[in-house]
Amino acid sequence: MTATQGDLASLSRYIFRAPRWHTSVTFALVVAAVAGIGVFDTRYLLEDVWQGVFFVGVPTVVASILTSGVDGYFGGQLTPNRSSLLALVCEVFVVAVLVGAGVIAALTAFGQNFVFDAFLASLAAIFAFRLLVIMAVSRHSVLVAAVPAGVQTAAAAVLLFVYSGTMRYFAVDRPLVDAFLSRQEEAPAALNVVVPGDFLVLIAVCLVYGAATYAFVRVIDRPWQRSLGVSVLDFLGGFIGHIAEGTRELEDFFEEIGEEAVVPVTVCSVRRPGGGEKARFVLPMVHPGPMGEIGGGNLPVRVAREADGLAFPPHATAGHDFNLVTEREVDAVLDAADRAMDAVEYEDRATGSVRVDEGDASLLAQAVGDDLLSVVTYSPSFADDVSYAVGLAAAAEARSGGFEDVLLADAHNCNDGLQGEDLGHVTPGGERAFDTQEAAARAGDLLGDADRYPLRVGVAWDPTEWEPTDGIGPLGIRVAVFEVADQRTAYVLIDGNNMEPGLRERLVAGVEGVDRIEVMTTDTHVVNQVEATNQVGEAVAEGKLLDLVDDLVDEAVADLEPVEAGLASERAAVTVFGNDRTETLASTANAMVSMGGGLAAATTLVAMSVSVLIFLFA
Mean pLDDT over 242-270 rounds to: 81
Residue 512 has pLDDT above 50, yes or no: yes
Contacts for 351 with CB less than 8 Å, ≥ 6 apart: 366, 367, 447, 450, 451, 452, 453, 484
Are 511 and 495 within 8 A, CB to CB?
Answer: no
Mean pLDDT over 73-81 rounds to: 87
Give the chain's end-to-end CA distance (angstroms, integer): 55
Per-residue DSSP letter, 42: -
Residue 526 has pLDDT above 90, yes or no: no
Residue 6 has pLDDT above 90, yes or no: no
Mean pLDDT over 195-203 rounds to: 78
The amino acid sitting at 231 is S
The model's pTM is: 0.75
Could you tell me the sign of the dihedral formed by the alpha carbons of 325, 330, 332, 336, in that order? positive
Using a CB cutoff of 8 Å and minimum separation of 24, what contacts does 537-545 make?
Answer: 537/471, 537/499, 537/500, 537/503, 538/471, 538/500, 539/466, 539/469, 539/470, 539/471, 540/466, 540/470, 540/471, 540/472, 542/503, 542/506, 545/503, 545/507
Measured from the Cβ of residue 59, the count of other Cβ atoms closer than 10 Å reads 28
3-state secondary structure of 603: helix
- Choice between 117 and 8, residue whose per-residue pLDDT is larger: 117
Contacts for 179 with CB less than 8 Å, ≥ 6 apart: none
Return the pLDDT at 545: 95
Closest CA to 164 of 150, 183, 151: 183
Return the pLDDT at 594: 61
Return the pLDDT at 215: 87
**How many CA atoms lie less than 13 Å away from 482 in the CB half-sphere?**
33
Are 455 and 480 within 8 A, CB to CB?
Answer: no
Mean pLDDT over 166-170 rounds to: 50
At residue 412 the predicted structure's pLDDT band, cuts being 50, 70 and 90, is very high
Greatest extent of the chain over all pairs of C-alpha atoms, in Å:
106
Range with the largest mean pLDDT of 221-235, 372-386, 575-589? 372-386
At residue 439 the predicted structure's pLDDT band, cuts being 50, 70 and 90, is very high
Residue 582 has pLDDT above 80, yes or no: no
Q: Where are the domains of the chain?
A: 3-9+19-247+583-617, 259-576
Return the pLDDT at 325: 85
CA atoms of 209 and 129, how far apart (whole Å): 9
What does the pLDDT look like over 54-65, one tens digit per residue? 778 888 999 999
Mean residue pLDDT of the chain comes to: 83
At residue 395 the predicted structure's pLDDT band, cuts being 50, 70 and 90, is very high
At residue 183 the predicted structure's pLDDT band, cuts being 50, 70 and 90, is very low
| Cα→Cα distances 481→303, 412, 563, Å | 20, 20, 12
Return the pLDDT at 43: 62
What does the pLDDT look like over 332-385, one tens digit per residue? 999 999 999 999 999 999 999 999 999 999 999 999 999 999 999 999 999 889
Mean pLDDT over 481-510 rounds to: 95
Return the pLDDT at 237: 75
CA atoms of 286 and 577, how far apart (whole Å): 10
Are 525 and 297 within 8 A, CB to CB?
Answer: yes
What φ, ψ does residue 159 adopt, rounded to 5°? Answer: -60, -40
Residue 179 has pLDDT above 80, yes or no: no
Mean pLDDT over 142-160 rounds to: 90
When computed from its CA atoms, the radius of gyration of the chain, rounded to whole angstroms, is 31
Residue 86 has pLDDT above 60, yes or no: yes
Contacts for 528 with CB less than 8 Å, ≥ 6 apart: 9, 12, 291, 292, 297, 497, 534
Pairing of strands 371-377, 406-410: parallel
Residue 513 has pLDDT above 80, yes or no: yes
Percentage of the residues of the chain whose pLDDT score is greater than 70: 80
What does the pLDDT look like over 417-427, one tens digit per residue? 655 455 678 88
Mean pLDDT over 257-266 rounds to: 90
Residue 112 has pLDDT above 60, yes or no: yes
- Choice between 545 and 245, residue whose per-residue pLDDT is larger: 545
| Cα→Cα distances 89→24, 92, 93, 159, 392, Å | 9, 5, 6, 20, 50
Return the pLDDT at 182: 46
CA atoms of 426 and 359, how far apart (whole Å): 13
Return the pLDDT at 177: 44
> In what helix (H) or strand (E) does residue 365 lie, and over which residues does it extend?
strand 361-368
Pick from 106-120, 137-151, 319-333, 536-550: least confident? 106-120
Return the pLDDT at 18: 64
